[in-house]
Structure formats: structure tokens, C-alpha cells
Amino acid sequence: MSDSSRKARNPLILAVLIGLGFHSFPVQAVDDDSAILQLRQAFQPTESAPNKETGLALDIARHFYPAEVIKAFIDTIHNAGGTFLHLHFSDHENYALESAVLNQRAENATQDQYGVYINPKTHKPFLSYAQLKDITDYAKSKNVELIPELDSPNHMTAIFDLLEKEHGKPYVQKIRSKWTEEEIDITNPDSIAFVKSLITEVVDIFGDSSRHFHIGGDEFGYGVDNNHEFINYANTLAKFLQEKGLKTRIWNDGLIKATINQLNPDIQITYWSYDGNPQDEREAQRRRKIRMSMPELIERGFSVLNYNAYYLYFTPEEGAATSHDSNFATRDVLKNWDLTIWDEQNPQNKIKDPHKIMGSALSIWGEHAGSLQSDSIQKYTAPLLTAIIYKTKATDNRDETNRRLRLLTENDFASLDSTTYIDLLQLKNHAFIALKNNRQTVRLLQENKLPERKITFWLNGSDKQKIQLNPHWRKTDHVQQRDGKDYQAYDYQGNTLWLDKTIEISDP
């Protein structure tokens, strides 16, 4: 549900296997990240709001995350005091779970060298039942709820593809919308029966690790005259889920003034955008005229979570060799966002009472991640996720929180020691990395893959920065000057790091 500027989603084809974010070693959340440690000191003395739900929405459909990386995200959520992991596993590009209903089975799949299951018909990865059991058990041990999202009526292409391979085109055409090939027919009893069967399977997979189920409801086509059809569909699924002991969550796109009185009031809303960020300004204004705002939903008694698509969306980009973008997003959240800001950057229509807001989430979308490794994304975003959780839970003591934040953010975050990660697989040969002019600790990622590359790169900085350098980087006799600064060469299996001599070296 975003692009690099945190805008609305555009479907892209998943990258080939090398681009799916696979890794070859266990991943753990980095609990000694310098920024996270400072955030903990700033926020933990502050009394937190006990009833706020806050966590992460992770798109595993368009960028696959293996079980170990998902567990590392769970660690970050748990360590920050978050409550849930919302898994977006179905979209146009992929259905990322094993499924008997869709005949995507581990027993019929191939496995790559890292244990990832690959559907031989679609060539797409998925989590097996055993891997999902491992994830659900781990989440329960960390007291983090898993919230599955089966997205409909749009974002159905991957499901349709699997159904066509199993049942043929006529079956798919029978349940597909007559108006668009990407949506299911929400007025067709057979379509609804199919969605219920898939929901049942997912509910059984996630078991007692879930108390909520997200039914999607974003970016689909409707008009004011036929919106009641979507409301009926949402109510039908909510009643079905209620019978299974689960509360329903839904995106805000289809909730309009004309039909809101018909919506089941027990449905919880994940509010990401007032207008969906269309390119056409007139269309944006039209949507704002007919849609329910977040304050209007709250005043009608709905439980709403803030998923603000500007501050709380992050879309990793293939080729992002450093964590500069996520570090910037972390500072932006710390300085400019709080739970009451829901309409992108607009502070004018803030929600007056933060206690009426159910919570918030960071959303990490995968459509542009390409070959960026999944464990790199996890490390890049851990401080951002931590900052959002802390700011959400500090709602009850904002004066004290703001005082601590002012100390942290003054003089352009001069006191914040950020961790800057460098993904060595994303670096171009002869890349020149200039560190931002603030305190930073640099860590290198994907070093185990370097023997495959043979690259040279430069790291420029100052005495404000240090780098954690593993001992396998051998200091050489080579020194070179560039733009008036001295650089020392370090070698690792034919790869060369030219390090600014003013940057301090520390042990990992």
C-alpha cells in the first residue's frame, strides 16, 4: 500500500529467486543497536499507555521473509513493548502460505539451499505449515499476537492463478468480478463461500496465536451507489469470523458517509489514507468528500488504529545499500509524528483525544525491495519500528515524553547515535559512501556473501563516527588520499574497503 514516498501501492512482479530476500543463517533482532538503546532510555522511564495496541504490518507476499527473519521482527516488537504482527500474506504477486485449499503444499514443493519452499508451478516461495507452527509458537512465547490478512476483494491475482491451475479457468471466471479481473465477485454466494473456506484454513493455521483477522478491503473499485454491496460483504465475513471467536479488522478505503451506518460496529479499522494518494488531485478531493475521516469514525464509536501512510509506511528499495532512508524516517517520526496525526503530514486536523485511538502500526511494503535481503530490511527498520511503538505507548504522559524527545532531537539529533547498516550485496563496485554529519555507528551486513563479489568501496566520515569491523578485514599497507582526506585500505577475500582514517574502529 505504498511506494518509495509512502504512496499507494502499485503491483509489481516479484523478483527472481535471488531477489526474494533469502538468507543462509539465523537472524536475531539487534538488541544492542545504539539508536534503540537510546530510545529505550528516553521512553522507558515514561509511564506507557497500557491499552494501546501497536506493532508491525509486514508484507510477506511481494517480498518473502523466511521464518527466522519473521521471528527477528517479533523480537523487536516484543523488546519495544509492542503487541502484534500483522502479516499481509496474499496479494497479486504471491500467496505466501501453504494451503490445501489452493493445493500449494510443502510435499509437492521444491526447497532451495536455505530451506525455503518453492511452488514448482508458480516458482514463488511460501511458508510451510511446519514453519508457520514455529512462528506461531514463537510469537506466543513473546506475547506478540499474529494477525493474518487475507486481502479481498482486490489483490486476488495470486489466489486466482493457483485456483486456475487446480480447477481451471471456468471455475475462476465464475467467482471473479464481472468488472475487473483482479477482484472477486462480492455479490456471488459461490465467491463468498470460497473466501470463507480460505479464511477457515488460515484461522486453523494461526490457531490461538490470533485474536483478530484482517479481511483487507483496500484499493477496490466501487461507487456511492453500489458501496452497500461491499458493506454487506464485510459484515458477512465479520459475522463468520465472530462465530470463530475472532474480531475483524479492515482497511478504511471502502468506508463512506452514505453507508457507514450499515457497517457492523464491532469491525476495527486500520486507517492508512483519507484519499489513497491518487495522482489526480480532483480524484483525491472526490474521495475525501465521500469517505469517512478517521475522526468521524472514532466519533461514531469505531475502534481505529493509525496506519498513517506518510509517517508509518516504509517501502524498502532495491539498491538501498545503506539504512540512511530508514534512519531518516526514524528521526522524522521522533520529531514530527504522534498518535493523533493521521492524515499524512497534516497537523491541522489532529485527533483531539489520543485515548480514543486504539493504536498504531509501522507497515513495511515489499513491491520495490527486489534483491534487498530480508534480514537487512529487518535490521534497517528495527529502530523505526521501536520509535513508533514507544511513541504510541507514551501517549498517557506526553509532557514528560516531549521533554525527553526535545533533548534527543535538539541540534538536529546531535545526541542520537544512529546505527548505519551497509548491505554489501547492494553496493555497486567503487561505491563512495558519505556518512551524514551526525553520530553514527556503522555495521556491515551480508559479509558472508562477499567472496562471491570482489568489490571495492569507500567510506567517508568524521571523528563523530565509528565502524564495527570484524577481524577478518585485514589492514593493508595501502593508503590513499581522496578529496584531501586520507583513507586506509582493508582487505577481505579480495574485497577492499577504503576507510576514512578519521572514523574510529571498534570491535563488533
- Mean residue pLDDT of the chain comes to 92
Ranges of H-type helices in 345-436: 374-393, 398-413
pLDDT number for residue 29: 58
pLDDT number for residue 430: 98
Residue 410 to residue 466: CA distance in whole angstroms: 22
Task: Supply the DSSP symbol for 279.
Answer: S
Residue 30 has pLDDT above 70, yes or no: no
- The pLDDT confidence band at residue 43, using thresholds 50, 70 and 90, is confident
Mean pLDDT calculated for residue range 281-295: 98
Mean pLDDT calculated for residue range 215-234: 96
Lowest mean pLDDT among 51-55, 411-415, 463-467: 411-415
Task: Quick: pLDDT tens for 328-371.
Answer: 999 999 999 999 999 999 999 999 999 999 999 999 999 999 99
Q: Provide CB contacts within 8 A for 266, sequence distance 6+.
A: 238, 242, 247, 248
Tell me which residues are annotated as active site: 219
Cis ω before 170 (30° cut-off from 0): no
Residue 291 to residue 343: CA distance in whole angstroms: 13
Lowest mean pLDDT among 11-15, 210-214, 421-425: 11-15
Beta bridge partners of 403: none
Residue 27 has pLDDT above 70, yes or no: no
- Using DSSP's 3-state secondary structure scheme, residue 365 falls into coil
Mean pLDDT calculated for residue range 102-121: 97
Task: Quick: pLDDT tens for 172-208.
Answer: 999 999 999 999 999 999 999 999 999 999 999 999 9
Residue 501 has pLDDT above 80, yes or no: yes
% of the chain residues with pLDDT over 70: 92
Task: Quick: pLDDT tens for 66-105.
Answer: 999 999 999 999 999 999 999 999 999 999 999 999 999 9
The structural domains of the chain, with segments of one domain joined by +, span: 17-412, 424-506
Residue 18 has pLDDT above 80, yes or no: no
One-letter identity of residue 146: L
Q: Are 176 and 112 in contact (CB under 8 A)?
A: no
Residue matched to cell numbers 458501496: 227
Name the more confident of 138 and 25: 138
pLDDT number for residue 248: 99
pLDDT number for residue 329: 97
Burial of 196 (0-12, 13-18, 19+ CB in 10 A): middle
Q: Are 429 and 452 in contact (CB under 8 A)?
A: no
pLDDT number for residue 157: 98
Residue 260 to residue 299: CA distance in whole angstroms: 12
Lowest mean pLDDT among 266-270, 436-440, 443-447: 436-440
Lowest mean pLDDT among 269-278, 443-452, 489-498: 443-452
Residue 46 has pLDDT above 60, yes or no: no
Residue 58 to residue 1: CA distance in whole angstroms: 11
Instruction: Fold for 17-412, please state it.
Output: TIM Barrel (3.20.20)
Query: What Cα–Cα distance (Å) separates residue 52 from each residue in 140, 277, 334, 390?
Result: 18, 27, 18, 11
Task: Supply the DSSP symbol for 70.
Answer: H
Residue 70 to residue 477: CA distance in whole angstroms: 42
Using alpha carbons, select from 315, 305, 364, 320 the residue that is nearest to residue 72: 364
CA–chain centroid gap for 274, Å, is 20
Strands (E) across 413-484 are located at 418-423, 431-434, 440-445, 456-460, 465-468, 474-482
pLDDT number for residue 189: 98
Mean pLDDT calculated for residue range 418-441: 94
Residue 345 to residue 428: CA distance in whole angstroms: 34
Residue 5 has pLDDT above 60, yes or no: no
Residue 3 has pLDDT above 60, yes or no: no
Mean pLDDT calculated for residue range 121-150: 99
Residue 24 has pLDDT above 90, yes or no: no
Residue 413 to residue 155: CA distance in whole angstroms: 40
Three-class SS string for 297-314?
Answer: HHHCCCCEEECCCCCCEE
Task: Quick: pLDDT tens for 289-337.
Answer: 999 999 999 999 999 999 999 999 999 999 999 999 999 999 999 999 9
